[in-house]
Structure 1
Amino acid sequence: MGVFERYLSIWVAVAIIAGTLLGNIFPPVFEWLSSFEFAQVNLIIAVLVWLMIYPVMVQVNFESITQIAREPKGLVLTVIINWLVKPFTMALVGWLFFKGIFADFIQPETANEYLAGVILLGVAPCTAMVFIWSQLTKGDANYTLVQVSVNDVIMIFAFAPIAALLLGVTDIVVPWQTLLLSVGLYVVAPLIAGLLTRRVIINNARKDPTASDRSLQNFDQRMKPWSILGLLMTVLLLFGFQAEVLLTRPLDIAMIATPLLVQTYGIFAITFIIALLIKLPYRIAAPACLIGTSNFFELAVAVAISLFGLKSGAALATVVGVLVEVPVMLSLVWFANRTQHWFKTK
């Protein structure tokens, strides 16, 4: 492991602190950076996420994807957790905190908006960052791609009905621009670029399998520092964009973050235990556990703003989800790597 990977937790902590401080010292700069946005997708963040995902896509081997049909359990587990468990447990956990534990500290209307925001996060499984978490746990890139792709297809049909059911409203409108742009930027475009790069590397190796493998590994090693840099810059910008909220409304941030943390670690624990029980190999189990815990925050933010407004509690809750996700997911990556020996190693 290189210096970037070995001390990743430290670098992320530094990025969080730096983003919060810089966002308060130079708010106009971050306002300007946040203005580069289309369909609730910040284009600067998109470039950084693309930088993280592209090297992962180079490792995707389409010839191996056909073998996934022989190991369907990981895919089935992902679908069940993301669409039959996670949205409903998020609604339950949010209700327990905002309608019960925190009821005396927030207004009922605000509690309803916070609850709506966390529900929207629970109904939107992640599209982009999953590839990063999979790479950090040395997951199967081919299998992860299929898991994400199946999630995206299901999301097209299931997001609006489930969100409408849990929110108790009937006018949920899927922000197609946000959904399609995110999938295009975070899945389709880097996948095409990765496949083309892979073909060039293999052709340059003159079809020698050993030389091809070495070349692909060398490319991955050269790109890793850039991927980690992309992650750190993403964290810095995300916290810089929300620096004012972090310092002016810390109690609200803490109250929203609490059910999100309970939900995230809870869903991970459920998926982790099931993966052990059904004896998934680690390369499939690790991404399967992490996919269900991360969120498609661009979609959740877009829907929250369209339903409740830019300054609403629902929009704030989805933003807190963004801020909580990276540190929490890194802790789960650490745990997955430390427990790798618990799984089959096929």
Structure 2
Amino acid sequence: MPPMPMLSLLDRLLPLWILAAMAAGLVLGRAAPGIGAAAEAIQVAGVSLPIALGLFAMMYPVLAKVRYDRIGRITADRRLMGLSLTLNWVLGPALMFALAWLLLPDLPAFRTGVIIVGLARCIAMVLIWNDLARGCRETAAVLVAVNSVFQIAAFAGLGWFYLVALPGWLGLPAADAEVGFSTAAIAGSVLVFLGVPLAAGYLGRRIGEARRGREWYEGRFLPAVGPWALYGLLFTVVMLFALQGEAILAAPADVARIAAPLLAYFLLMFALATVAAKVAGLGYGDNAAVSFTAAGNNFELAIAVCIGTFGVTSGQALAGVVGPLIEVPVLLALVYAMRALGARWYRGENEPR
């Protein structure tokens, strides 16, 4: 049974919607040259208010779906949690660092943006990919919740390590010498654009279930707010490309070069994760959840951090914007790959639930 019919029209055509949003942003930027000044007039944590609202709209619906009361049961599985944490916080950032330096040695701003994408572990779209692949929803939700908390605690430190410390140890130019990297700025961006929606998602679920019950919360409230994640994404892309349009049109080859390490990363991480999960003895549902969590990246957070730290018209922000353009079609294709692997490796465990 192919996964595509499970998607809404908006979800199925998301790559096309993103392309349309990019085109609309380019047209808007050309038609309204003063949009940049207007967008920057009011800022939140160094990000223009319209983009900040779009980022929050992307993050909140997904975090509102997490069942925070089930974290303990799944986190008790040390094999699963150990593998997921290793893939997400050790192998993933290291692989993106290597690919960025290998494929973008002469483009420091784009390289820094790509490395930041590698540090931002997926906490949003992974739930969609996992569901399409018939992975375990509860495992995916727990991994999302754990990554959300771990990201707040570790993101800034990892940013310093991969952008400043490690390049220095290897004799490479450090990001602070090139672009004025600020650990404090990244920590602030993470707290605002991840911490706030995470707190809102947690408190919203607690209050909603306490007052109206879980059946109402998950059966009526979540379906009502869920589409806003994609609306927020599309709105943010429109605004970003309206502000980045001149740079994109001036150097399309740079966009293609940014895409190269991202494409290699998604494919390599997925392959490594699926094999590692199989070797570790995880069932199909857990394998899918671990693999998509490891392969995907939180481009919403990466965009927010790049904008807040380096500016909305920076090369780092452009690298973040290219992320969803590459990730969405690639991860959608990997849904089919996961289903095919399930049929071979798990003898029907991935049958529709």
TM class by shorter-chain length? 0.7 to 0.9
After TM superposition, list the pairs within 5 Å mapping 1:101-140 onto structure 2: 110-122=106-118, 124-126=119-121, 130-135=123-128, 137-138=130-131, 139-140=137-138
* Offset at residue 111 of structure 1 (A): 3.6
Alignment counterpart, residue 71 of structure 2, candidates 31, 45, 65: 65
Counterparts of 2:101 and 2:156 in 1: how far apart (Å)?
A: 26
Partner of 2:231: 229
* Structure 1 contact 178–302 (Cα < 8 Å) conserved: yes
**1:153 and 2:153 aligned:** yes
* Offset at residue 83 of structure 1 (A): 3.0
Counterparts of 2:40 and 2:84 in 1: how far apart (Å)?
A: 33
Counterparts of 1:266 and 1:68 in 2: how far apart (Å)?
A: 26
After TM superposition, list the pairs within 5 Å mapping 1:196-207 onto structure 2: 196-202=207-213
* Structure 1 contact 52–231 (Cα < 8 Å) conserved: yes
**1:26 and 2:32 aligned:** yes
Listed one character per residue, the Cα deviations across residues 45-83 of structure 1 (whole Å, up to 9, x for unaligned) are 332333333333343333322212333344323322233
TM-score by length of 1: 0.76
TM-score by length of 2: 0.75
**1:179 and 2:179 aligned:** no
Listed one character per residue, the Cα deviations across residues 157-192 of structure 1 (whole Å, up to 9, x for unaligned) are 443234323332496641232232223223223322
Supply the AA of the counterpart residue of 2:145: L
- C-alpha change, 1:321 and 1:244, in structure 2 (3 Å) is same
- C-alpha change, 1:264 and 1:229, in structure 2 (3 Å) is same
Counterparts of 1:220 and 1:68 in 2: how far apart (Å)?
A: 23
After TM superposition, list the pairs within 5 Å mapping 1:85-96 onto structure 2: 85-96=91-102
Cα RMSD (Å) of the superposition? 3.2
Supply the AA of the counterpart residue of 2:58: M
Counterparts of 2:280 and 2:74 in 1: how far apart (Å)?
A: 16
After TM superposition, list the pairs within 5 Å mapping 1:48-63 onto structure 2: 48-63=54-69
* Structure 1 contact 282–340 (Cα < 8 Å) conserved: no
Higher deviation after alignment, 41-50 or 110-119: 110-119
Counterparts of 1:42 and 1:273 in 2: how far apart (Å)?
A: 42
Counterparts of 1:113 and 1:53 in 2: how far apart (Å)?
A: 26
Structure 2: unaligned runs, 5 residues or longer: 1-6, 132-136, 169-173
* Offset at residue 4 of structure 1 (A): 2.4
Counterparts of 1:173 and 1:16 in 2: how far apart (Å)?
A: 29
**1:166 and 2:166 aligned:** yes
Partner of 1:75: 81
Listed one character per residue, the Cα deviations across residues 282-335 of structure 1 (whole Å, up to 9, x for unaligned) are 5544453344431542334555x3xxx988xxx41x223222221222224423
Counterparts of 1:98 and 1:61 in 2: how far apart (Å)?
A: 40
Partner of 1:103: none
After TM superposition, list the pairs within 5 Å mapping 1:209-288 onto structure 2: 212-213=214-215, 216-281=218-283, 284-288=286-290
- C-alpha change, 1:5 and 1:340, in structure 2 (3 Å) is same
* Structure 1 contact 238–323 (Cα < 8 Å) conserved: yes
Supply the AA of the counterpart residue of 1:327: L
Counterparts of 2:60 and 2:257 in 1: how far apart (Å)?
A: 36
* Structure 1 contact 40–302 (Cα < 8 Å) conserved: yes
* Offset at residue 232 of structure 1 (A): 2.0
Counterparts of 1:280 and 1:47 in 2: how far apart (Å)?
A: 39
- C-alpha change, 1:118 and 1:274, in structure 2 (3 Å) is same
Structure 1: unaligned runs, 5 residues or longer: 100-109, 203-211
Counterparts of 1:96 and 1:86 in 2: how far apart (Å)?
A: 15
Counterparts of 2:9 and 2:216 in 1: how far apart (Å)?
A: 22
* Structure 2 contact 63–197 (Cα < 8 Å) conserved: no
2:26 aligned counterpart, secondary structure: helix
Counterparts of 2:59 and 2:175 in 1: how far apart (Å)?
A: 36
Counterparts of 1:167 and 1:161 in 2: how far apart (Å)?
A: 8
- C-alpha change, 1:119 and 1:21, in structure 2 (3 Å) is same
Counterparts of 2:203 and 2:45 in 1: how far apart (Å)?
A: 23
* Offset at residue 245 of structure 1 (A): 0.9
Counterparts of 2:222 and 2:126 in 1: how far apart (Å)?
A: 15
* Structure 1 contact 74–280 (Cα < 8 Å) conserved: yes
Counterparts of 2:22 and 2:196 in 1: how far apart (Å)?
A: 25
